[in-house]
Amino acid sequence: GIAATLGVDAASFDTVLRVTLPMGISFYTFQSMSYAIDVYRGDARALRNFVDFACFVSMFPQLVAGPIIRFSEVADQLASRTHTLAKFARGVAFFSVGMAKKILLANPCGRIADTVFDAGAPTVLQAWHGVVGYAFQIYFDFSGYSDMAIGLGLMLGFVFARNFDSPYQSQSITEFWRRWHISLSTWLRDYLYVPLGGNRKGVRRTYINLGLTMLLGGLWHGASWNFVIWGAFHGALLAIERALGVDRLYGWMPRPMRVATTFSLVLVSWVFFRAADLPAALAYLGRMFGLGASADAAALLSGLLLGPYLALSFAVAAIVVWGGQQSWTWTRELTPLKIAIALGLLVVAIAALSTQDYNPFIYYIF
């Protein structure tokens, strides 16, 4: 079934499995799947050295938290790569910024999300505040880990592709998926959507392939109805934008309104990601749109959310999301001032980490 989906003959696919599985490394990972498919397609040459293969599959910088590295992207680097002071310095800066994102922004925004989602009956504003906090948490958590992985790779001489590109500045859901977790979205596109036929087999099949790809992308995060709905929701939005045209849907809006509309749709989808189960997600969505009375403790909840630490962290997160420069761009040309800022962020992040009792690793959940 997998061979048919990938558009390869079963005998060749079986040969790849027989070569890969005896090495003691599970084929059913993105790494080994990428190796097998890229070699079969001719996008890269097979490795002849087991150490090189083991290095690719278990590549330290991105092993735990991504980004998803394709074999074709690093095949040449496994054989030969350069080590320079400039590359190492950029890696340190990347790692410092990523750690600051995780510790100084993702963690406090996660506290905001947990506080509201666990409250039971927040007001409308509190419910939106909570889901925006979660949107900031998941972005700074994922992009922070990606930055740290890219930084570690640079220190070791590897150059990995960018994984996030200011996704909350997107002006459509289609654009959002070009900017969010790029290594996953392009992996799903190239290894699932395109082999299924992509848009080459008619309009009806195009929408089926698009919906199936997003459904499977949702299930990749976990076997839960919440993730199925999350994938179906994004698949439906992508299909609508493709059918009607992005310009027709959003072209009449000024840019800030397009960004706000896209971000609001993404927030609705994040509820299914964050809620414990489907009833909890539906109940939270009801709170966001004014269904149901708020609890008597709403004033106390506001006091917690508007405390100096959480309020300042939330504000800084918003400024970075919509006004900050991408890590990829910011670290491209390092100046003495940038180096000082990066090292300062690293020191502050380490100091904060040593005092924090809240440091969830949400990427590991998926």
What Cα–Cα distance (Å) separates residue 301 from each residue in 105, 110, 179?
A: 20, 15, 34
Q: Which of 129, 181, 221, 234 is catalytic?
A: 221
Crossing angle between the packed helical segments 255-274 and 124-155, to the nearest 10 degrees: 90
Q: Where are the beta strands (DSSP E) in 19-127?
A: none
d(CA 234, CA 262): 11
Catalytic annotation on 129? no
d(CA 88, CA 147): 14
d(CA 48, CA 174): 40
Residues contacting residue 365 through CB under 8 Å, at least 6 positions apart: 222
Omega into 67 within 30° of 0, i.e. cis?
yes
Identity of residue 40: Y
The DSSP-derived string for 295-310 is PTTHHHHHHHHTSHHH
d(CA 130, CA 120): 12
* H or E element that contains 100: helix 85-100
Which are the catalytic amino acids? Answer: 221
